[in-house]
Chains A and B, each alone.
Chain A
């Protein structure tokens, strides 16, 4: 029997993967994937809790979050293309000019 706990554990694992990804990944594209994973981890949580309470609003939130995530990525990808055109690199560490 898969209970709420299982879903929450899944959500937690996904979240950790996402966090590690944000920290470790240098490729900008991968970075966005990681943020997506983070957001979807939360989505899983919302959906599970929503089912548990029998309250639909949680699942509704998941849709909103997906929309927000999509728009964030849209902006991000735009910037990525711009940066690639300028420098020919998608390395996050190449964006590092303003020290001090």
Chain B
């Protein structure tokens, strides 16, 4: 059963270029700094500090996969999400969507990009227009993309069914008349109404109760299968990321510190930060209680990050070379590779524990 506008998994997507071999998205060296409203010095135009939210992020996204992005607050993952859609314009770096460079004269326009990539926001009170019935919020996307109001409403109703909401019952309701889980289904419907190929989910289940979260996660998996979607799943919750992702990217203070298949990351983490992050999860087993927190102190401010490797101030293995050179991520273009931006993992970096062979 195929919806007239949603491409079903069995049908070939006419927008596909290059097939499965070509990554759906390549992000290369994305950078975004935010000017900080200066203190007294700014009155005279002296050097303004900048929040280095995303400072050179590169990764690939392959068709049909779910890439999970984890990190703590302030690591830049929300900014990264918005950069991928050009909701925030990157200061530097490039985005290549299915072979076309975004916002380049010979590539794909931002508007065209937004017809193939959509975003599901965290269910805050502000994610849906409080003065609009939800079916109008869902229909807004198709309407903007050129469909008539009647067509758009039909699409909206159809999508609401697909996400498990009865459109006759829930369509005319206002957001404040829905529960958290229902609102999130609406958010998903809103993203899918435009028939995208890729969906970015920014903390999409973080505000939900656990049982509702489980329902929504399963819905997401099902939708992905039915409509051949590619997901970027951003979350601070490690368990959720483990459940839904195929590959995982770990961020710290605007940098990618580790990237690889989900099982490899969770069972054999390479970067000291990932190790500590995984170790901070409370266990259900009383035998596994620990006395010392694996990660000490607060993360440094993104305005004035440490030189070299940004994690070195909290890393047990930090050495002199960590303060001098920024560690490189390695072979991030490869689908199956498991890489970490750490001097220990880079042969010949000068770190005492650096391996001489390559990585797993």
User: Is chain B found bound to chain A in the same assembly?
Assistant: no
